[in-house]
Chain A
Amino acid sequence: KAGVTQTPRYLIKTRGQQVTLSCSPISGHRSVSWYQQTPGQGLQFLFEYFSETQRNKGNFPGRFSGRQFSNSRSEMNVSTLELGDSALYLCASSHDQLTDTQYFGPGTRLTVL
């Protein structure tokens, strides 16, 4: 079974731009969660999608948004990038519940200049 894949692996953007990150979950997994990881704040929950609906949301501004497609693939978008958005963005999939065993992708390293 293929693992969680994320594209692209690395991105460099400038302030004010927007970015879209993609995540393909493990086949059969319906829950997809997104996390932001930084050295200072650690791993912080952004949101979770299940059956194309946002089921849970963390405490991030509205510039961070996401969606899930009928095949469970998910994208997250960050608009009006700020320097502080530089981070590793991780996607995780689980069978049904976020609190089930989560399988993480390798992440997308975003650098905002």
Chain B
Amino acid sequence: TQLLKQSPQFLSIQEGENLTVYCNSSSVFSSLQWYRQEPGEGPVLLVTVVTGGEVKKLKRLTFQFGDARKDSSLHITAAQPGDTGLYLCAGDSGYSTLTFGKGTMLLVSP
């Protein structure tokens, strides 16, 4: 069973702070996806990273895929209350399914 461990499980910060959340595995993934889920809604895809060492930026969000394609990180600069939500990573193991981590719950207070 391929597992994805996300840390921290919960993060509560003030508006304007920076933060990084992590997604780690002992297995190699052909690609990794990051989702954000808001209360009462389903997850929404933010980005897919495919190449080891790849860095993708989405406004204030920076996603990095580890060189060995076993881990990934999401860095948010100057967090805003609208960034509040559950951040999920999901790995494509190449077996036509996705393995999801349990998520990091982010709360950004004004």
Q: Which residues of A contact B (CB under 8 A)?
A: 4, 35, 41-45, 48, 55-56, 58, 90, 92, 97-99, 101-107
Contact = CB atoms under 8 A, between A and B. Distances in A.
B42 A99 contact: no
A45 B98 CA distance: 8
A66 to B, nearest CB: 15
Interface residues of B, number: 19
B101 to A, nearest CB: 7
A101 B41 contact: no
Interface string B83-94: 000001010100
B42 A107 contact: yes
Interface of B: 31, 40-45, 48, 88, 90, 92, 96-103
Contact of A97 (B43, B96, B102): B96
Contacts of A106: 40-42
Nearest to B4: A42
A4 B100 contact: no
A32 to B, nearest CB: 13
A99 B45 contact: no
Residue of A4, A35, A58 with most partner-chain B CB within 10 A: A35
